[in-house]
């Protein structure tokens, strides 16, 4: 991390522009494998997610949750509203700034819609949500991936380490 950081923004961009897409693709493929390995539970999982999202408890909790916990998680998950992502995008040298704007629009979509949906489906499909007893975050995700297939936990670990490494580099900038 130190060597990359000492190389400046170009070095950070060169490293993260290779690591982050690879990490994202590996995570998505691993999640889809986990879903496929438990494909018979997919319909149940989607119904559970939709019913949970539109229940009276969800409406009540959503008001408070979106305002407090939701914003915290969104800021951590995809830097939405924090400003650090905008700093990195502003440092890009390009002849077509619109393309950089599009890239910055895709980031929250890919993270929030694609990656989080796949994660939720793996957690629900494997039954880890019901048997979690208050476990949240990475421990819950790890439990779900491990129950989908023991080797999937190792892939998740590598993805989490690459995410942490790329986050350290971008935050240090």
| pLDDT beyond 70 at 81 | no
> Can you tell me the distance from the alpha carbon of 8 to that of 49, in angstroms, rounded to the nearest whole number?
43
For 101-141, what is each residue's pLDDT tens digit? 888 778 878 887 888 889 889 998 888 888 877 888 888 88
pLDDT band, residue 78 (cuts 50/70/90): low
Distance CA 88, CA 94 (A): 13
Residues 6+ apart with CB under 8 A from 27: 115, 118, 155, 156, 159
pLDDT tens digits, one per residue of 15-41: 888 888 888 888 899 889 989 988 888
Residues contacting 74, CB < 8 A, separation 6+: 80, 81, 108, 112
* Short-list 106, 110, 112, CA closest to 77: 112
Interatomic CA distance for residues 78 and 34, integer angstroms: 23
The two tokens of residue 39 are 């494909």
C-alpha span between 6 and 28 (Å, rounded):
31
Given this model, what pLDDT does residue 66 score?
A: 60
- For the entire predicted model, the pTM comes to 0.68
More confident residue, 80 or 10: 10
């Amino acid at each position: 991390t130190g060597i990359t950081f000492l190389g400046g923004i170009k070095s950070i961009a060169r490293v993260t522009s290779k690591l982050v897409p690879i990490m994202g693709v590996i995570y998505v493929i691993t999640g889809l494998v986990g879903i496929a390995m438990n494909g018979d539970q997919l319909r149940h999982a989607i119904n559970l997610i939709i019913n949970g999202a539109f229940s009276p408890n969800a409406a009540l909790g959503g008001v408070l949750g979106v305002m407090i916990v939701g914003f915290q998680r969104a800021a951590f998950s995809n830097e939405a509203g924090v400003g650090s992502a905008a700093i990195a995008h502003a440092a890009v040298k390009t002849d077509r700034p619109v393309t950089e704007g599009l890239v910055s629009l895709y980031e929250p979509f890919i993270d929030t819609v694609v990656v989080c949906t796949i994660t939720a489906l793996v957690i629900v499909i494997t039954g880890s949500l019901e048997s979690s007893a208050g476990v949240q975050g990475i421990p819950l995700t790890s439990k779900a991936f491990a129950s989908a297939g023991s080797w999937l936990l190792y892939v998740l670990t590598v993805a989490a380490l690459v995410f942490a490494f790329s986050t350290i580099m971008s935050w240090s900038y």
